[in-house]
């Protein structure tokens, strides 16, 4: 199973990741949301993911693009991306984004964009305190999230028993406790690695593999400029931040 998140309207990164999945003959996929925002190709990314026919969750940028409400707690770079979405997406596409679920549970796994603690509030899991609150709401052995754009693996064996490691390569999962896997970001990694990131999960063998996929950054940069988006939206891609 492939789990991916935070495409953020980056078509070149999305196409590279999907091609990598196809090369590995992975057919089961789950998308954790934020298809749109920041980047220059919201409609194309939305349609490409929708065509997969896989479960898709709602992220905070999806929710913002789908509504007409004023922006809250978003910086100017994020606002520019959402404004482009609202201008370029059709009413039907925005309705589809608004209809996406916040969580999914199946086959011993849970899926969410941010934290299972109040998923519609879009909390980030960045600290041990954040993870502890999330794990209190997690009911299945394994959960997948995105939102921070930073691949991570968290394990909880109870109160004050947390372990944390960066998501890199193939990792054998512990046999005990609860696991939270942040799959990183397809379209805007923030771990100082510009390559697109997603995760492959093998439940029987109990391992997760974080895949890094290079893509045509220069092409995406040109599109960002032509779309009138902030230059920072392009610069950060090259730096992975």
Domains of the chain, by residue range, sit at: 2-230
Predicted pLDDT of residue 71: 74
Predicted pLDDT of residue 72: 72
CATH 3.60.21.10 fits 2-230, yes or no: yes
Predicted model pTM: 0.96
Q: From CA 211, how far away is CA 203, in angstroms rounded?
A: 17
Predicted pLDDT of residue 160: 75
Q: Nearest 5 degrees, angle CA 223-CA 226-CA 227?
A: 85
Q: From CA 96, how far away is CA 94, in angstroms rounded?
A: 5
Q: Chunked in runs of 10, what are the mean pLDDT values of the chain (241 residues)? A: 98 98 96 98 98 98 92 88 97 98 96 98 96 96 98 89 94 94 98 98 96 98 97 96 92
Predicted pLDDT of residue 85: 97
Predicted pLDDT of residue 9: 98
Predicted pLDDT of residue 69: 83
Handedness of CA 220, 221, 223, 224 (dihedral sign): positive
Q: What's the length of the chain?
A: 241
- Per-residue buried b or exposed e for 120-156, using 16+ beta carbons within 10 Å of the residue's own CB: eebbebeeeebbbbbbeebeebbbbbbbbbbbbbbbb
């Amino acid at each position: 199973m492939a789990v991916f998140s935070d495409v953020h309207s980056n078509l070149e990164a999305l196409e590279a990741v999907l091609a990598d999945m196809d090369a590995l003959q992975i057919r089961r996929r789950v998308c954790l949301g934020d298809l749109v925002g920041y980047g220059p190709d919201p409609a194309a990314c939305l349609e490409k993911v929708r065509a997969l026919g896989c479960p898709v969750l709602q992220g905070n940028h999806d929710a913002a693009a789908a509504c007409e409400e004023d922006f809250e707690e978003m910086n100017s770079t994020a606002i520019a991306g959402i404004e482009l979405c609202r201008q370029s997406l059709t009413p039907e596409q925005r309705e589809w984004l608004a209809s996406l679920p916040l969580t999914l549970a199946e086959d011993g796994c849970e899926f969410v964009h941010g934290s299972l603690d109040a998923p519609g509030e879009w909390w980030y899991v960045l600290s041990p305190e954040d993870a502890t609150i999330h794990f209190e709401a997690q009911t299945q052995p394994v959960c997948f999230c995105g939102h921070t754009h930073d691949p991570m693996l968290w394990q909880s064996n109870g109160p004050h028993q947390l372990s944390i490691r960066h998501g890199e390569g193939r990792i054998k999962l512990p046999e005990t406790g609860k696991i939270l896997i942040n799959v990183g970001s397809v379209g805007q990694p923030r771990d100082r690695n510009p390559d697109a990131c997603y995760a492959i999960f093998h439940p029987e063998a109990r391992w997760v593999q974080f895949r890094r996929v290079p893509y045509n950054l220069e092409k995406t940069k040109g599109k960002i400029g032509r779309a009138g988006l902030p230059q920072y939206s392009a610069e950060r891609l090259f730096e992975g931040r």
